[in-house]
Amino acid sequence: MSKLIQPPKGTRDFLPEEMVLRRKVMETIRGCFALYGFIEIDSPVFEYFELLSRKCGSEIEKEIYVFEDKAKRKLGLRFEFTSPLGRYYATNAEKLTKPFKRYIIGKVYRYENTQAGRYREFYQADADIIGSYSMNAENELLDLAVFTLEKLGMGNYEIVINNRKILDGIINAAGIGENKKDAALRALDKTAKIGEAGVIKEFKENGIGEENYRSFMRLIDLDAGLEDSKKLAVLKERISVDLKDESIKNKTNEGIEELSSIIEDRRNAKAGKDPGFSVIKFDPLLVRGLGYYTGPIFEIKSKDVAIGSFAAGGRYDNLVELYGVRPEGACGISFGVERIIDIITERDKDILKSLSSPIKLYIVYLSENERTFALKTANFFRIKGINTELSVSEVPNIGKEIKYADRKGIEYFAVIGEKEASEQKLTLKNLKTRKEIFLSVEEAAELIECN
């Protein structure tokens, strides 16, 4: 088949039955965000490239779809929602009530290699809080995540957490200078992909010695059997011995206290939950990007589907300052809608067959004599909130019409002939049970609404 009639690499078409699941997932997430007091916003799908790259540097250009408009302005498609949020907040700060709790669900674009769970056009669902330095914001977002994932039936996942302040302290204690910190974190962030040898290789390429890597790993080599609170206490003691700079030591201790607070809050939230309730887990190797985050960072991963993290976030107190307004405490979480859907369909390969069609009723009228009554009847159901499709066949074949409705997963099938039109009634057939009944339009609506 010609490439010209295939969607571009990294993008996909979705069949109607796939859209039922996608819409259900996104509406569930939207409903959960609203329940927690987040309000929906939207912003342009493209921004000035300079604004998109402000928090990540020009090297991010290789991941962004960049283009010039007819006036030669350099623009880029949004590759996530946080940079656009910084610009949005700076533009509208005086009109917004703080703390500003917003959510957005939409498509983003990233030019990268495609693989399982990774596409070039994909949906994200983000919730953010701007205007609070309190760890209550992180706790709110993590509680929102757990609540949302329960509503989605995700189960069997884990939340891993770390703090950039702690990472900065360990980097310093391992003898890695401030000018090499970002390079070291970039390499460490790839540990799961490239392994120890790959990380050491990248260290050396960036002028960082293997002994620095070994020192870093010794500091985070914690007894797996310890509770996270005790791991943090051990780490605090180790780092305090090697850290000479008091300001860095204080920042590191601050990061440890922040994590301890979050872990305790999650432990309290777990009380009374089912044994399978996912608890938070401290991971000293969790990095999440470069200098973007300033405090706690977290990822949520499936424990039974190998697809990477499907939700992530953290604190980024310096972001809005990059866009010309005074700094504000800020943190957020992003749900990867595509990965969530991929996990759901991987766990239940027949789920698309089990989903109900959004169309509840299909109406067929047998001749032009019944057309007027059929139109009025279809509109009556629609006003009642019942999704109704009216046949467009001029000379319908009932057998073929039933097969059509069956294929679309429509539950109810109504026939309007001469008798039905004269008595202002219809013949209603349940396509699941195959039971048929002759009744008034009002009775039919009540029956459908009750099922």
What gap in Å lies between CA 185 and CA 420, rounded to an integer?
73
**Domain architecture of the chain: domains with CATH:** 1-156+304-355 (3.30.930.10), 166-273 (no CATH), 357-450 (3.40.50.800)
Query: Mean pLDDT over residues 79-83, rounded?
Result: 92
> Residue 280: is its pLDDT beyond 50?
yes
- Provide the pLDDT for residue 392: 95
Query: Mean pLDDT over residues 106-110, rounded?
Result: 96
Percent of the chain predicted with pLDDT > 70: 95
Residues near 304 by beta carbon (within 8 Å), at least 6 away in sequence:
156, 347
Q: Choose among 74, 64, 75, 67: nearest CA to 110.
A: 64
Each residue of 331-379: pLDDT tens digit? 999 999 999 999 999 999 999 988 889 999 999 999 999 999 999 999 9
- Provide the pLDDT for residue 451: 80
Beta bridge partners of 299: 160, 312
pTM score: 0.90
- Provide the pLDDT for residue 160: 95
Q: Choose among 128, 121, 129, 127: nearest CA to 45.
A: 121
> Residue 240: is its pLDDT beyond 90?
no
Query: Mean pLDDT over residues 234-238, rounded?
Result: 91
- Provide the pLDDT for residue 155: 85
141 falls in which pLDDT band (50, 70, 90)? very high
- Provide the pLDDT for residue 115: 74
What gap in Å lies between CA 424 and CA 374, rounded to an integer?
10
Query: Mean pLDDT over residues 205-234, rounded?
Result: 92
What gap in Å lies between CA 100 and CA 228, rounded to an integer?
32
Higher pLDDT among residues 451 and 238, named by residue: 238
> Residue 250: is its pLDDT beyond 80?
yes
Query: Mean pLDDT over residues 88-111, rounded?
Result: 96
Each residue of 379-435: pLDDT tens digit? 999 999 999 999 999 889 999 999 999 999 999 999 999 999 999 999 999 999 999
Distance from the Cα of residue 398 to its chain's centroid: 44
Mean confidence (pLDDT) of the chain? 91
60 falls in which pLDDT band (50, 70, 90)? confident
> Residue 292: is its pLDDT beyond 50?
yes
- Provide the pLDDT for residue 276: 45
Min mean pLDDT across 78-92, 137-151, 165-179, 271-285 is at 271-285
- Provide the pLDDT for residue 359: 96
- Provide the pLDDT for residue 58: 62
Phi and psi, residue 134, nearest 5°: -75, 145
- Provide the pLDDT for residue 57: 63
